[in-house]
Amino acid sequence: MQRIMVCVYSLLAMVLLYSDSVDVDASGLLEKAPVSDTCPQVRMKPAGQCKDEEECPYQITLPPLTIQLPKQFRMLEKTMKELQNLKETVRQLRSICLECREQADMGLHKDSTETSDKGRGDVHTRGPGNDSSGIAIRDIQVKMSRMATSLKNARGQINTMQGRLDELSHQSLGKMEAMVISKVENITSVISRLNNTCSSQCPVLASPAHIRVPSDCSDYQVMGQRKNGVYQITPDPKNGTFQVFCDMESYGGGWTMVQQRINGSLNFNRSWTDYKKGFGDVHGEFWLGNDRIHLLTKTRDMVLRIELEDFDGVREYAKYDMFYVANEFLKYRLSVSGYSGTAGDALHFSKSFNHDQKFFTTPDKDNDMYPSGNCGNYYGSGWWFDACMSANLNGKYYHKKYKGKRDGIFWSTWHNMTSEYYPTNYRQAFKTVKMMIRPKNYAP
Ligand SMILES: [Ca+2]
């Protein structure tokens, strides 16, 4: 741009300088104009006839103008446009706001004068736009007004409460202190009086009864239960609770049944696992299970009572003051002693046939003292076999006397056993068998 201006000015200066010496033809047209070498694109020539020498129309031809602008200029332009748009938006918003304020003022005025139904109808029929904005602003203003009122009220209440609190704290502390001192004095006096009385007259109070879950049937008996039936017991809380049949009526009651045979409905020729876990129905025939018998007998010193009845109606019993069954690791070893009763001590029949301190054997697990075979398998029973037995209360249930292998329920000291074999060759059968236990120190 500067360059072009320089050219134009220098051209004009030359025109002035050379005007006196310029040859002008008759037509008045300038033949050739002196041109600066530095401005090749610039042309100046007469345009039309001169009226006189002083007044000649000239024409200057300038080169096309190209201006290189900085890169940021485009951005500047855009920014300017955006600014313009923003300015326009602001103007519009300002105008809308002014309208809104006017409408809000009008609306507030309407609210106080018009019915609510009409106002509600207006809201529903109005479309979006300035009207809805006005309503929203009006609602906000109403809410703000209400909140301001609430705040004012709350502040008032707080002030009132603060005042009362100050009053109370000032006035009541003294009274409270006096009251507490008075109460403490009263209590001290009462305690002192009681101490004086008790030291001479009051009996020593028994410690409160220890409340515990029943660990066997005798606990239920102590608690006043007097009926035979199934009860939940927990000999060892770590090993859970299970159901047992309790004989609460016979021989002082409180008996936990561990085995019962009454009709032969249950097969006792079973595996180690069956005897371990127990089988049958506690209401009828069953084996309580070696694990449970162990838990019961380890928790308390137990007495064992065996009840037997044959098909002739003969009833006898054997009682042992000590009965303990070890755990599975010790193969449920039997500890039994202290016999009394009428059925005879078949568990300690002789040195050769003695069930005390014998391991439990089942048809599938030979822990017996018989080296040549499995007594449990031979007699079809799980029992504390020696080599093999003078008693087996888990033998086969025969409904009458039987012949052959003595694999039935067996009690070697039964009253007629010496005449069992000769001359009839029949073996004794038992109608009912019961094994039950109760704590040794239990007093019915
Ligand atoms: Ca054996």
pLDDT tens-digit map of 119-153: 333 333 333 445 666 777 888 888 888 888 888 88
Residues of the chain with pLDDT under 70: 1-41, 52-54, 63-73, 100, 103-133, 170, 172, 174, 180, 184, 188, 191-192, 194-211, 419-423
pTM over 0.85: no
What is the model's pLDDT at position 22? 39
Q: Give the Å distance between the CA of 397 and the centre of ligand 1.
A: 23
Q: What's residue 101's pLDDT?
A: 73
| Euclidean distance between CA atoms 117 and 114, whole angstroms | 8
For residue 252, the 8-state DSSP code is G
* H helices, E strands: number in the chain: 8, 13
Residue 208, classed as helix, strand or coil, is coil
Q: Render pLDDT for 320-361 as a digit per residue (tens, 0 to 9).
A: 999 999 999 999 999 999 999 999 999 999 999 999 999 999
What whole-number distance in Å separates Cα of residue 35 and Cα of residue 44?
Answer: 8
Ligand 1 center to 439 CA (angstroms): 33
The alpha carbon of 165 and the centre of ligand 1 are apart by a number of angstroms equal to 91
Ligand 1 centroid to Cα of residue 388, in Å, is 9
Q: How far is the CA of 375 from the centre of ligand 1 (A)?
A: 6
Within 10 angstroms of residue 166's Cβ, the number of other Cβ atoms is 10
Distance (Å, rounded) from C-alpha 439 to C-alpha 252?
12
Ligand 1 centroid to Cα of residue 387, in Å, is 8
Give per-residue pLDDT as tens, 28-48. 333 344 444 455 667 777 777
DSSP letters along 82-144, please? HHHHHHHHHHHHHHHHHHHHHHHHHHHHHHHHS-HHHHHHHHHH--TTHHHHHHHHHHHHHHH
Q: How far away, in angstroms, is 358 Cα from ligand 1 center?
A: 12
Cα(374) to ligand 1 centroid in Å equals: 4
Structure token pair of residue 319? 């009682």
Residues sharing a CB contact under 8 Å with residue 228, sequence separation 6 or more, in sequence order: 245, 246, 247, 248, 249
Q: How far is the CA of 275 from the centre of ligand 1 (A)?
A: 18
- Give the closest residue to 239 by CA, choosing from 289, 203, 184: 289
Distance CA 441, CA 444 (A): 10
pLDDT of residue 50: 72
Residue type, 54: E
412 CA to centre of ligand 1 in angstroms: 21
pLDDT at position 92 is: 86
Tell me, in angstroms, the distance from the centre of ligand 1 to residue 288's CA: 25
Which pLDDT belongs to residue 160? 80
CA of 408 to the centre of ligand 1 (A): 19
Give the distance (Å) from ligand 1 centre to CA of residue 373.
4
pLDDT at 432: 98
Residue 130 pLDDT:
53
CA of 355 to the centre of ligand 1 (A): 14
pLDDT for 78: 79
pLDDT of residue 291: 98
CA 193 / ligand 1 centre spacing (Å): 77
